[in-house]
Structure 1
Amino acid sequence: MDQQQASEALAVGDAFRFENLSDPAAGVWELLPEVQIAVNAASKSASSAISMAYTMNALRKASAGRDARGRFTAEAQDCLRSALLFSGAGLDTALKRLVAHTLPILVNNELAVAKQFEDYSKRRIANGSDGVDPRELLQLLLSTAKTPRDVLLERWVYDLRSSSAQSAERVMELATACGVSNRALKKRFTPSKDKSSLIERAFSARNQIAHELDVTNPAEGARKALETIRQYRKAEDITSMCQELLDVTQDIVNDVAARLVIVEK
C-alpha cells in the first residue's frame, strides 16, 4: 500500500459519522437528562469504535504492505463488535431509565398506562384464577410509609427493569409499558416469526458477540486460527445495526417525552 492509499483509508475512519439518527425532541434534555445521556454516550462510543475499526484496518494492512480494501483484519473486527455492544448497552440503559423516570407520572395521566398497571397488580396479587394470594396481600397492607399502590408501582418498575433489554420482545414490553402506541415506530421492534427485522438481526448478532464471542465452531479452536472460526462482520452491516438500535431508542424516548411535555403544561 502506498502513502496516498494509506492516507485515504485512514481518512475514511476519521470521517465516519452515523447518518440520519433522530435528534432529541424538544423537552428531552429538560425532562429526561439521565435517559438522553445514556443514548448520547452509546452513540458516541459506537461511532468511535466503528471509526477505529476503519483506522485499525488501514494501519494493520499498511504495516503489512497490503491494500486496505477487502475483508477487515481481526483487530478491526473486534472494534466493530464493540460498537454493537455499545449500542445495545445504550438501548438497555436508556429504556430502563425511561421506565423508572416516567411510569410514576404516566400512570397518573394516561389511561393506557394505568390499565397496564391495573393488569400487573391483579397478576401480582393473584392466587389462581379467582383468588388472592394472602401473603402478597399481607405484605401490601403492612408496608410502612407507603400505600399499597406505591408498593405495587415500585414492584412493576422493578420487574420491568430486572432483566436485560436485548431482544425485540423486551423493547416491546418496555415501550408498551411507557404508553408508546405509534404504529410506524412499534412496527420496527415488533417481534417477527423469522427474526428477520433489522433490530432482531442486531440483537442476534449482539448476543452472539456478548455470549459466544462470535466463535462459530469452538471444536475447531485447537486446529485453526481464532479469526477463522469467528463470525465475520461487515462494517456496513454493523453500522446499520448500531444505527437501528440507537435510532429506535431515541424515537421511543422522543415519543414519551412529547407526552410528558403535555403533562407538564
Structure 2
Amino acid sequence: MAITKTHATDALQVGDAFDFSDLSSPVDGALEMFPEVEVAVQAATASARTAISMCYSMNSLRKIAEGKAVRGKFTSEAQDCLRAALLFSGAGLDTALKRLAGEAIPMLVESDKDVVKKLEEFAEKRISDASGNASPKELIRLLLGTGASPRDVMIKRWIDSLEASSAQSAERVSEIASAVGVVSPDLRKRIAPTKSRSSMLEKAFIARNQIAHELDVTKPEEAARKRLESIRQYRNVDVMISLCQEILDVTQDIVNDVVTRVKAA
C-alpha cells in the first residue's frame, strides 16, 4: 500500500494533482454487477485526491505569500483540506457498503451458506420476544408484510437494519462484511475491532469521528486556554493520507470479495 508524493518535505507543486498508488482496483465485473457501489467508491477516491491536492497547494500559497519556507508544519487551511479528505473517504465507505448490502444480499442468499446463516440468525432475533419465545405480533407482521414471501419480507428488513445507521466504525464494517459473507481470514483480521482500537482502520475512524463530531477542537490544558495554546488537533499529512487510503482500500476489497463469490456461484 505505497503512497506517492506524501511527504511534507517533498511537497507537490502548486496545481499538481495528488494520486494514491497501489489502491485496490475493482475486479472484473464489479462495475457491471454493482455500478452504484463502484460509483460511490470512485467518487470518494476522487474527492479525497482533490482535497489532498488542495492541501499542498493551500499550504504552499499561504506560506509563499507570507514569505515563509514551504517546508514544515502545514497551515490551518491545508489542515482543513486534509480533514475534508478523510471525511470524503469515510462517506464513500458508508455509502458503498450500505449499497453493497442492499444489492448483494438478495443474490447471496440464493447460494452462500454463510449469508443464509446470518439471515436465519437475524430472523430468529427479529421474531423473538424478550423471553426468547416467538412473538405473535412479529409473526403477524412477517406473514402480512409486503413481499413475495415471508422470506423476502425478512430479507428486506435485514437490509433495512444494515442500512439504518452509520458505518463509521470497525464494528459496523465487520457487521456488514459478515452480512455479505466475507470470510477471508486476512480481510476479516484487517477490519476486526480490537480492544486497543489500534488497527489502521480503527485509527481512521477515530480521527474521522473527532473531525466530524468535535471539529478537531482540543480540550484546554487548564480551566482557561493559554494564549498560544493550540485550539485544534494538528494532523500529520502522511498519517492522514495513510488513513484515507486504508478506508478506501478496505471498501474496495470487501466489494471485490463479494463480486468474486457471486461470479463463482
Q: TM-score, normalised by structure 1?
A: 0.91
| Corresponding residue for residue 247 of structure 1 | 249
The amino acid across from 1:74 in the alignment is: S
The amino acid across from 1:67 in the alignment is: A
Deviations 1:153-207 (A, max 9, x none): 1000000111100000000000111000111111111111100111100000000
CA drift of 1:146 comes to: 3.3
Matches within 5 A, 1:55-74: 55-74=57-76
- Distance change in 2, residues 1:12/1:246 (3 Å): farther
| Corresponding residue for residue 106 of structure 1 | 108
Distance in 1, Cα, partners of 2:78 & 2:98: 31
SS across alignment from 1:230: coil
CA RMSD of aligned residues (A): 2.0
Number of residue pairs the alignment of both structures matches: 256
SS across alignment from 2:216: coil
- Aligned match for 1:133, one of 121, 132, 135: 135
The amino acid across from 1:38 in the alignment is: A
Distance in 2, Cα, partners of 1:145 & 1:207: 37
Deviations 1:67-112 (A, max 9, x none): 0100000000000000000000000000000000000110111111
| Corresponding residue for residue 257 of structure 1 | 259
- Aligned match for 1:32, one of 26, 31, 34: 34
| Corresponding residue for residue 22 of structure 1 | 24
Distance in 2, Cα, partners of 1:84 & 1:160: 23
Distance in 1, Cα, partners of 2:15 & 2:241: 13
Residues 13 and 53 in structure 1, CA contact (< 8 A), matched pair in contact too: no
| Corresponding residue for residue 48 of structure 2 | 46
Matches within 5 A, 1:223-242: 228-242=230-244
SS across alignment from 2:230: helix
Distance in 2, Cα, partners of 1:198 & 1:240: 8
Moved over 3 A (4+): 218-227
Percent identity for Structure 1 against Structure 2: 57
Distance in 1, Cα, partners of 2:229 & 2:46: 27
Residues 197 and 203 in structure 2, CA contact (< 8 A), matched pair in contact too: yes
| Corresponding residue for residue 3 of structure 2 | none
The structure that is helix-richer by fraction is 1
SS across alignment from 1:131: coil
| Corresponding residue for residue 149 of structure 1 | 151
CA drift of 1:219 comes to: 8.8
- Distance change in 2, residues 1:84/1:220 (3 Å): farther
Residues 37 and 99 in structure 2, CA contact (< 8 A), matched pair in contact too: yes
The amino acid across from 2:199 in the alignment is: S
Distance in 1, Cα, partners of 2:145 & 2:17: 57
CA drift of 1:139 comes to: 1.2
More displaced 10-residue stretch of structure 1: 125-134 or 75-84 = 125-134
Residues 208 and 214 in structure 1, CA contact (< 8 A), matched pair in contact too: yes
Distance in 2, Cα, partners of 1:221 & 1:95: 43
Q: TM-score, normalised by structure 2?
A: 0.91
CA drift of 1:14 comes to: 1.1
1:204 aligns with 2:223: no
More displaced 10-residue stretch of structure 1: 215-224 or 137-146 = 215-224
More displaced 10-residue stretch of structure 1: 122-131 or 108-117 = 122-131
- Distance change in 2, residues 1:164/1:261 (3 Å): same
Gap regions ≥5 residues in structure 1? 1-7
The amino acid across from 1:41 in the alignment is: A
| Corresponding residue for residue 170 of structure 1 | 172
Residues 147 and 153 in structure 2, CA contact (< 8 A), matched pair in contact too: no
Deviations 1:196-234 (A, max 9, x none): 111100000000000000001269898568992101001
Residues 41 and 90 in structure 1, CA contact (< 8 A), matched pair in contact too: yes
SS across alignment from 2:233: coil
Distance in 1, Cα, partners of 2:187 & 2:252: 11
